[in-house]
Amino acid sequence: MKVSRLEVCCGVALVLLASVIVIFFWTKEVREFKIDYENNRFLKDGEPFQYISGSLHYFRVPRVYWQDRLRKLRAAGLNVVSLYVEWSRHEPQPGVFDFTGENDLEHFIKLAEEEGLLVILRPGPYICAERDLGGYPVWLLHKNPKMQLRTSDPSHTKYVQIWIDTLLSRLEHLLYGNGGPIIMVQVENEYGSYSTCDRNYTLWLRDLFVKHVGTKAVLFTTDGAAKGFLKCGPIPGVFITVDFGSGANITKAFEPLRAIQPKGPLVNSEFYPGWLTHWGESVSTVETERIVNTTRDMLQANVSFNYYMFFGGTNFGYTSGANYRDSPNTSFQPQLTSYDYDAPITEAGDLTQKYFAIRSVISEFVTVPGIPVENSKKFSYSGLVLDPRVSLFDSPGVVYPETTYPKTFEELGLYTGFLLYETRLPETFSSQGLLTAKHLHDRALVYIDKQPVGILDRSNATFSLNISGKPHQTLSLLVENQGHINYGIMSDLKGLTENVTLNGDVLLNWKQTGFPTEDVSHVVDLPKSETVKLPAFYSQKFQLTNTAEDPGDTFVDMSGWTKGVVYVNGHNLGRYWSTEGPQQSLFLPGPFLHKHPEYNTIVVLELETENSLRKVFFSPTPVWSSGNSR
């Protein structure tokens, strides 16, 4: 039979097509990440798989550095990156979603994949993470100030459903089984530490996750490695993991887990190579040798684990949270702006001795890729003098209708910054009295006719103050929201949450003005003014020294100032509180700066004390209170 050229071509094409189809279905079949309970291991495409993961949060480092941080994580020998998703930044207003720019989560996940990493996704919706309200948008508490977060309260689940449906629909194509890098997805977060224990909620949430994830990735929970935490944390049908730090006896640490999940791979979802620090504490550190030893123990025991944090980063703006301790003296503990965490990679992205020690112990077990990584270049600049511009009290604020009793930030719809409460000293007031703001959240500068008369502070449980004045004088309380509690209690309304009394009598008729202080651009072009009253904005324009290079990273040294907020070129670098410490400087990433000859603008909002020198310094290394270092 004579075969035409065309037929040969078609034949070849058909064979090729058939092969493509076969390969397609064959690959599709083995593209799978799952648990082999019987053999206590994970299977990735049918092969045993152990992960060495590190936590790194896209929301704590500028997007331009995402790739750098991911690459450094991979270069240490890690094969997975673990990340929380922060609801509040992706849904800044109800029903308004943002997945662009600094919030481009898909881009972060794709970069991770490009750098050779798989991904563990922790979407909460509660994430703790030492973030404002544990990652929940504060507007939820405007919708319903009594909302029971982390429960099946329908006013809560209504918004959770919209958020999780939105998020997981966007990310479905990135699940491992769908061809992407996401191998695991966490349901809620350490629910066993939450006293409410609403199993209806966790079951409902599980089903919401299952709807999107199915078998395309492994769903898991994580909780403290003790019997108590494993009572309410685990959810039927969801793989259970635990958290513990260095120095633990591995066998012993997994015993409570093994009691309820006798088979399956062992996972430590939060292994702490460092720890968080609150204002007023010494810097938390964890000894490298302990990390190395426990890392080795876990690798030897085939444990899959995640360093929390491998890179900490920065709580820019008003994103840091607070802890709460049920003790009369220090019940409220706001967290630092720095989330350096004593992690293997520093806040500025530098590699530490801890980093190299970890890379070395990992290399005893797996081949560490030879990826070149280096520290960023830094710059210093000494003694930039700032000029006073305007008092906060003379700055534009949001004026709310006067109310008989004071309202909270959330009731008024103010989610960041400061709320100024003003009333008049009563007719009957006789020169002296005890002012009490019970359950003040969090810190109030108190003024009579705009003259400072004292400070009330939740951190040291100071809720009363003796004041003197005359009837009809203006009494003002400028209340600062220092970050919503992110762990334990989840109903932390800000401001004057109860009536304010003077000698036991309730003060009425409050004028309220909000200062969200997110946008301070009004300050920049104001003339210098020597007579401004605190709290006040100071600012200056400056040029970097003549260089064609891109600006390096630096730390704005605020020692000598007292308490406030720093902004550079419109970026809110976060809070400083130099008198409280231990943090004295704020990380300023180079990409926030303009290179020569363009001008840069720095704005400082100082709340409490006039700094006679009015100088800021740019330091190439972070500055901590004396006696502290990492």
Ligand X SMILES: *[C@@H]1O[C@H](CO)[C@@H](O)[C@H](O)[C@H]1NC(C)=O
Please report, as ranges, the residues that interact with ligand X according to CB under 6 A: 48, 152, 198, 200, 249, 251-252, 287, 289-290, 293, 301-302, 328-329
Q: Which residues pair with 47 in a beta bridge?
A: 44
Over 233-250, what HEC string results? CCCCCCEEEEECCCCCCH
- CB-nearer residue toward ligand X: 251 or 380: 251
> Is the distance from CB of 362 to CB of 271 less than 8 angstroms?
no
Return the biggest CA–CA distance within the chain: 119
Q: Which value, in Å, is the radius of gyration of the alpha carbons in the chain?
A: 27
* Residue of 531, 417, 388 whose CA lies nearest to 478: 417
Give me the torsion for CA of 243, 244, 245, 251, rounded to 10°: -130
Clarify whether 130 is annotated catalytic: no
- CB-nearer residue toward ligand X: 329 or 612: 329
Buried b (16+ CB within 10 A) or exposed e, 503-524: eeeebeebbbbbbbbeebeebb
State the nearest-atom distance from the C-beta of 36 to ligand X, in Å.
Answer: 10
- CB-nearer residue toward ligand X: 196 or 579: 196
Report the alpha-carbon distance of residue 167 to residue 160 in Å, rounded: 10
Indicate if the alpha-carbon torsion angle 81, 84, 89, 93 is positive or negative. positive
Q: Read off the tokens for 287.
A: 């000894």
Report the alpha-carbon distance of residue 572 to residue 591 in Å, rounded: 14
Report the alpha-carbon distance of residue 379 to residue 359 in Å, rounded: 28
Q: Which residues pair with 96 in a beta bridge?
A: 93
What is the separation of C-alpha 552 from the centre of its chain, rounded to a whole number of angstroms?
Answer: 24
State the nearest-atom distance from the C-beta of 238 to ligand X, in Å.
Answer: 18
> Is the distance from CB of 409 to CB of 536 less than 8 angstroms?
no
Catalytically annotated residue among 91, 115, 188, 270: 270
State the nearest-atom distance from the C-beta of 235 to ligand X, in Å.
Answer: 14
- CB-nearer residue toward ligand X: 126 or 429: 126
Catalytically annotated residue among 190, 347, 411, 606: 190
- CB-nearer residue toward ligand X: 203 or 524: 203
> Is the distance from CB of 185 to CB of 219 less than 8 angstroms?
yes
- CB-nearer residue toward ligand X: 254 or 393: 254
CB atoms within 10 A of CB 275: 15
State the nearest-atom distance from the C-beta of 300 to ligand X, in Å.
Answer: 7
Q: Read off the tokens for 143.
A: 């919708």
End-to-end C-alpha distance for the chain, whole angstroms:
83
State the nearest-atom distance from the C-beta of 328 to ligand X, in Å.
Answer: 6
- Within 94-226, strands assigned E span 118-122, 182-186, 218-224
State the nearest-atom distance from the C-beta of 99 to ligand X, in Å.
Answer: 33
CA angle 572, 574, 580 (to 5 degrees): 155
* Residue of 308, 309, 305, 293 whose CA lies nearest to 364: 293
State the nearest-atom distance from the C-beta of 42 to ligand X, in Å.
Answer: 11
* Residue of 9, 27, 8, 29 whose CA lies nearest to 19: 27
Q: Three-class SS of residue 453?
A: strand
Clarify whether 190 is annotated catalytic: yes
State the nearest-atom distance from the C-beta of 152 to ligand X, in Å.
Answer: 5
State the nearest-atom distance from the C-beta of 325 to ligand X, in Å.
Answer: 11
Report the alpha-carbon distance of residue 585 to residue 553 in Å, rounded: 13
Active site residues: 190, 270
